[in-house]
Chain A
């Protein structure tokens, strides 16, 4: 699908960033989630956790000479430490995640099911996968925001009734941010909260592989 109104990766990251609130501890996954750090509203106090033991991860250093191989993100990109940041070892880093300290995790996704099941670590039939910290982070975070394109390259929906991809974590996703829409995962089912500018509700419904609850007021994603 080549709809010119589909959001870019940066626009999706920007929309997720607006969701993160003052005082939150947040883990960002690899891919679109990594971009979120660039769109945090000025002055908002969010602490970023990186699975390799960084609490208070800051943006990429401004000067090349300040890049430090001992200070990299989970995606292996150069980062900084904010004032008041801390380093912990891997077991403590995952105690932060599994122990329920993360207010939110932003993770890439292959599929999300109506019960909140997340698939993002291995392709069907693959003999290998890259689980990294995804299973631990998704199981522990208070909220899991999934970022993904609304459909796959073949146009198949990635928001589905039940996963056909290998499960990462059961019943964890709370909200989905795609290039078409913002969809909440609720006990009643998927709720369409916002659509991208120029994308119709009908387009989103057609591109979704499960029933969407359509509230009276559906917002437009601010871009």
Chain B
């Protein structure tokens, strides 16, 4: 029966308490698409720590000079795994990549989502028709199933996932807001340690179990970031 005394405490009272466990060389999943669902407070908290050798997994290769772009500018990032590498606003990344100072792996967006899902689901990979015959499938095995060819893709598991949720309860159950859901649920499943920033914390039982999107079993730690306008958190490196 419910025993709140013995319940695991997943709440981090400070940003440092949420992020201190991130170490050099970590692979980090960073959720979000456009402005929606980006864990901006966690990203800002990760900057300025002098981290090195990170691999970041994100839809893009950073925008302007905040968040992922600032981590790259600070020299924290050895490799970016993304779907869209060359947006005009990704100039911090593209300049470093042109100079050969950062590694890039481009992954089709559906394949990225499914590699994360496969990792979260304990699968050894999956077969997809996506990318067949393209540069992005070079070197990957191809299998024929029922007369159709598929590329064999591997799971993508990470050390950490940085997640943005709308609501969190003390067990770490999460809801998301509109299209801010995007990569968050699959990334939350695919990391050894999933760190959440939530807009609000609600008491146990306040989230209708039918509406929980990410059950707390996938969440290791959460921090209450409070409401803010997406795209406004973060200061450029000085």
CB of A87, distance to nearest CB on chain B (Å): 5
A69–B229 touching, CB < 8 Å: yes
Known contacts being A69-B231, A133-B108, is A88 close to B181, with CB within 8 Å?
yes
Q: Which of A91, A128, A132 contacts B116 (CB 8 A)?
A: A91
Cβ–Cβ contact B179 & A70, under 8 A: yes
Query: Does any Cβ of A come within 8 Å of B91's Cβ?
Result: no
Bound state CA distance, A169 and B131, in angstroms? 6
A28 interfacial by beta-carbon distance below 8 Å: no
**Chain B residues within 8 Å of A53, by CB:** 33, 179, 181-182
Q: Is the CB of B108 within 8 A of A135?
A: yes
**Chain B residues near A (Cβ < 8 Å):** 33-37, 83-87, 94, 97-98, 104, 106-114, 116-117, 128-136, 176-186, 213, 229-231
Q: Contacts A69-B35, A130-B83, A170-B133 given; 5 further ones with Cβ under 8 A?
A: A89-B186, A97-B110, A135-B110, A135-B136, A167-B133
Please name 21 pairs of A and B residues whose Cβ atoms are closer than 8 Å in the assembled complex, sorted by A: A53-B179, A69-B36, A69-B229, A69-B231, A70-B179, A70-B180, A70-B230, A71-B36, A72-B33, A72-B179, A88-B181, A89-B182, A89-B183, A90-B109, A93-B110, A94-B109, A94-B110, A132-B83, A135-B108, A135-B130, A169-B134
Indicate whether A139 reaches chain B with its CB closer than 8 angstroms: yes
CB distance from B194 to the nearest CB of A (A): 14
A133 to B183, CA, bound (A): 13
Contact in complex: B130, A72 (CB < 8 Å): no
Interface string of A124-161 (1 = CB under 8 A from B): 00011111111111011000000000000000000000
Q: Is the CB of B178 within 8 A of A81?
A: yes
Q: Which residues of A contact B35 (CB under 8 A)?
A: 69-70, 72, 76
B182 touching A90, Cβ below 8 Å: yes
Would A133 and B129 count as touching, CB distance under 8 A? no
Q: Mark A54-80, 1 if CB is under 8 A from B, else 0.
A: 100000000000001111100010000
Known interface pairs A91-B117, A98-B130. Does A166 touch B108 (Cβ–Cβ under 8 Å)? no
Residues of A with C-beta under 8 A to B135? 122, 166-167
Chain A residues within 8 Å of B176, by CB: 87
Chain B residue with minimal CB distance to A122?
Answer: B135
Flag whether A11 is at the interface (Cβ < 8 A).
Answer: no
A170 to B149 CA separation, bound complex (whole angstroms):
11
**The 9 nearest A-B residue pairs measured at CB:** A136-B110, A94-B110, A69-B230, A90-B113, A69-B35, A133-B109, A135-B108, A89-B185, A70-B180
Which listed residue, A132, A140, A169, A170, touches B109 by the CB 8 Å rule? A132
Contact of A174 with B by CB under 8 A: no
Q: How far is the CA of A132 from the CA of B34 in the complex (A)?
A: 12
Bound complex: CA A128 to CA B86 (Å)? 7
Q: B178 near A70 (CB under 8 angstroms)?
A: yes
Quick one: given A88-B181, A127-B97, A167-B133, are A72 and B83 in contact (CB under 8 Å)? no
Is there a chain B Cβ closer than 8 Å to A178's Cβ?
no
- Bound Cα distance A134, B134 (Å): 12
Contacting residue for B36 out of A70, A166, A169, A170, CB 8 A = A70
- Return the chain B residue nearest A135 by Cβ: B108
Tell me how far the C-beta of A193 lies from the nearest C-beta in chain B, rounded to whole angstroms. Answer: 28
- Tell me, yes or no, whether A111 is within 8 Å of chain B by CB: no
User: Which residues from A are CB-within-8-Å of B83?
Assistant: 130-133
Give Cα distance in the complex from A88 to B110, angstroms: 13
Contact A71 B84 (CB under 8 A): no
- Residue picked from A69, A76, A94, A134, most chain B C-beta under 10 Å: A69
Picked from A71, A130, A167, the residue with its CB within 8 Å of the CB of B87 is A130
